[in-house]
Amino acid sequence: MAVDTKTDQGTVVTMEKIVELCKRRGFIFQSSEIYGGIGSTWDYGPLGAELKRNVKEAWWQDNVRVREDMVGLDAAILMNPRVWEASGHIESFTDPLVDCKMCKQRFRADQIVADVCPACGGELTEARQFNLMFKTFMGPVEEEAAVVYLRPETAQGIFVNFKNVQMSTRKKLPFGIAQIGKSFRNEITPGNFIFRTREFEQMEIEYFVMPGTDEEHHARWIEERYNWYLKYGINPDRLRLRAHDPDELAHYAKATTDIEYLFPIGWSELEGIANRTDFDLRQHMEYSGENMAYFDEESGKSVVPYVIEPSGGVDRSLLAFMVDAYDEEIIEKGDKKEKRTVLRFHKALAPVKVAVLPLLRNRPEIVDTARKLASQLRPVMSTMYDDTASIGRLYRRQDEIGTLWCVTVDVQTVEEDNQVTIRDRDTMEQIRVPIEEVKPLLLERLSA
């Protein structure tokens, strides 16, 4: 289903526009493109790498560093296969698949409308369960005993470390453990650019609470996580909450609410906030034989905590921020009209904060002054220097990647007043300031 996602100015943002801009400006490339690519796998280019770091940094700052009740973790992707038995992934992390006997293509049984192959009309096999975990072998021998899996979620790395973290940090309930990392799911039907990929990055929190207080913590996390997206500029008209019906709940969940964003492909999940109860800790207690209970000093009793899990996707969030930031507007230039494409990223997310541009690239003193200013700004904020086009064109390039400010060095700077022009991305207003004031002024605006 295609949906017109319109900007404030009424621009229709299509996935094609986003994909094209991402490739042209170096946000996201197809993986192994020179070999024809590989299914639904993408590489983040120079600007995409910066943007992705900024998304993760904002999440970590807000959910870990500023909170007394949260700590971080960075667990390994490879885990003892018993983990996936305990979690239920080996048994039930599956999709039902059918094969076409004629053309040999494979489809998800729940997406087949008729009883025949949608590609060739051939006869289909009975549905079989297909596990979505990627398998590989640990060590040199490729045998069943050496099978390990690439983790399909970061959550289990947190659960199995619950006791380690609690004992080493002396945290009392309620407290949470946060983790950002790659996960892998062998999806049969990935797609829609970076929305659904087989290799992806998660930002997950497992928040451990006393049983009986889980519902209030669940409600609070839903609100906090919803507000987080608003804080970084997501348009509230394109953000909504959707509670799962009882029949779509995962086997471990008592309740789940999704935060959905209106992507160009329609309303789709950005993040899920699940009440996982004590399911995971109890499973690991049973399978490992380790006691994972928490001793509550107040009551003098041992309890197995309940868990609230806000689980978001880095790549999806990045895509939402990208779609939401995208804008096209018509600006008047004298008696001419011109289209301006601008990514209105939140200042914390913008991959480039400032661009320093010499007005004339054939005047050495202008170029030298601009380069010197750029090198002063680089250690404190993401800075770009560009002298490869006329100033109008340089502005358009920076708008298109969401650069917050353009600082221009001109003839007047070097011949008269030692002042430069700072242009604001959103208002396009220009102010003139002494060159030594640029750094403190921009730092102040960034932290405001």
The C-alpha R_g of the chain, in whole angstroms, comes to: 26
Q: Per CB under 5 A, does 117 bind Zn ion?
A: yes
SS3 of 94-119: EEEEEEECCCCCEEEHHHCCCCECCC
Minimum CB distance to Zn ion smaller for 120 or for 146: 120
Contact region with Zn ion (CB under 5 A), list: 6-14, 36-44, 102-110, 296-304: 102-110
Contact region with Zn ion (CB under 5 A), list: 50-58, 97-105, 295-303, 408-416: 97-105
Minimum CB distance to Zn ion smaller for 100 or for 255: 100
Residue 122 C-beta: closest distance to Zn ion, Å: 4
Contact region with Zn ion (CB under 5 A), list: 113-121, 351-359, 388-396, 433-441: 113-121
3-state helix, strand, coil in the chain (%, to 5): 35, 30, 35
Mark residues 214-233: x for contact with Zn ion by CB under 5 A, - for none.
--------------------
Q: What angle do CA 326, 423, 52 make, to 5 degrees?
A: 40
Residue 186 C-beta: closest distance to Zn ion, Å: 21
With CB under 5 A as the contact rule, the residue among 100, 203, 209, 274 that binds Zn ion is: 100
Contact region with Zn ion (CB under 5 A), list: 24-32, 94-102, 253-261, 411-419: 94-102
Between CA 135 and CA 129 the distance in angstroms is 16
Q: What angle do CA 275, 276, 278 make, to 5 degrees?
A: 125
Between CA 273 and CA 262 the distance in angstroms is 18
Please count the other Cβ atoms lying within 10 Å of the Cβ belonging to residue 43: 12
Residue 196 C-beta: closest distance to Zn ion, Å: 23
With CB under 5 A as the contact rule, the residue among 102, 219, 250, 285 that binds Zn ion is: 102
Minimum CB distance to Zn ion smaller for 122 or for 174: 122
Residue 101 C-beta: closest distance to Zn ion, Å: 8
With CB under 5 A as the contact rule, the residue among 12, 78, 103, 138 that binds Zn ion is: 103
Between CA 202 and CA 183 the distance in angstroms is 7
Judged by CB under 5 A, how many residues of this single chain contact Zn ion? 7
Q: Per CB under 5 A, does 119 bind Zn ion?
A: yes
Residue 129 C-beta: closest distance to Zn ion, Å: 21
Q: Per CB under 5 A, does 389 bind Zn ion?
A: no
Minimum CB distance to Zn ion smaller for 105 or for 268: 105
DSSP string, 170-207: T--SSEEEEEEEEEE---SS-BTTTTB-SEEEEEEEEE
Strands 354-358 and 383-385: parallel
Between CA 390 and CA 408 the distance in angstroms is 12
Minimum CB distance to Zn ion smaller for 12 or for 119: 119
Residue 97 C-beta: closest distance to Zn ion, Å: 13
Q: Per CB under 5 A, does 122 bind Zn ion?
A: yes
Structural contact between residues 176 and 70, judged by C-beta atoms closer than 8 angstroms: yes
Torsion sign (Cα): 230, 201, 263, 44:
positive
Between CA 397 and CA 381 the distance in angstroms is 19
Contact region with Zn ion (CB under 5 A), list: 93-101, 146-154, 185-193, 197-205: 93-101
Minimum CB distance to Zn ion smaller for 26 or for 122: 122
Minimum CB distance to Zn ion smaller for 103 or for 331: 103
**Residue 174, preceding bond cis, omega within 30 degrees?**
yes
Minimum CB distance to Zn ion smaller for 108 or for 371: 108
User: Which residues of this protein are in contact with Zn ion, per CB under 5 A?
Assistant: 100, 102-103, 117, 119-120, 122
